[in-house]
Amino acid sequence: MAALSDDVKRRIVQDLACFDTPSQVAKAIKAEFGLIVPLQQVEAYQPGKTAAAKLSKRWLTIFEETRKAFLEDTSQVAISHRAVRLRALNRMAAKAEDKGNMALAAQLLEQAAKEVGESYTNRFKHELTGKDGGPIETRKSKDLTDEELAAIAAGGSA
């Protein structure tokens, strides 16, 4: 197994804390640092794995802090933003249309419409509520008085 610098170890721990798989982490380490790190060595930095039984307190703390920050702040994940998703759908739809794949382009356009709240469909969503925004009161006609039934028949409400 290769001897790893603290920078490489930190990157491994942080990537694992962000739910990257060991193979994804190994590829990232190779791309960034030019090192080939075996999957077993990567797993040695993932708490809960048998290989990480002797993981030092330092790396365990970094893992826990990174995981907590990652779970609390989804704003750093690009795809969590509607504008990013719409831009990606726009690129995909244009590419599908250029290649003559109209069925896929139509699906992507539909997905984009859903992304913006179905503003390009003929569907309407209505929310019905009762008095003062409360639930709609329902009563059976057998429970109505004669006066209430006469008011309804005359076009009023009970």
Residues 66 and 21 occupy one common structural domain = yes
pLDDT score of 119? 59
Whether 158 shows a pLDDT value over 60: the answer reads no
Average per-residue pLDDT in the chain? 87
Amino acid in the structure at residue 129: T
Q: Are 8 and 35 in contact, with CB atoms under 8 Å apart?
A: yes
Q: For residue 149, what pLDDT band results from cuts at 50, 70 and 90?
A: confident
| Ordered alpha helix ranges (H), the chain | 6-17, 22-33, 39-43, 57-72, 82-98, 102-115, 146-153
Q: At what angle do helices 82-98 and 102-115 cross, to 10 degrees?
A: 170
pTM: 0.56
Which tokens in the block code for residue 155?
A: 């076009």
Residues 24 and 65 occupy one common structural domain = yes
The backbone region for 135, taken as left when phi is positive above 0, alpha when psi lies in -120 to 50, beta otherwise, is: beta
Residues 60 and 94 occupy one common structural domain = no
User: Which of 114, 115, 112 minimizes the C-alpha distance to 94?
Assistant: 112
Residues 63 and 86 occupy one common structural domain = no
Percentage of the chain lying above the pLDDT 90 cut: 54
Domain of 108, in residue numbers? 80-115
Whether 4 shows a pLDDT value over 70: the answer reads yes
Whether 78 shows a pLDDT value over 90: the answer reads no
Whether 141 shows a pLDDT value over 90: the answer reads no
Which tokens in the block code for residue 71?
A: 């779970």
Residues 16 and 56 occupy one common structural domain = yes
Domain boundary among 72, 97, 130: 72
Residue at 144 is within a domain: no
* Cβ neighbourhood burial of 15 (10 Å; 0-12, 13-18, 19+): buried
Between CA 130 and CA 75 the distance in angstroms is: 37
Which tokens in the block code for residue 85?
A: 């998703």
Average pLDDT over residues 20-27: 96
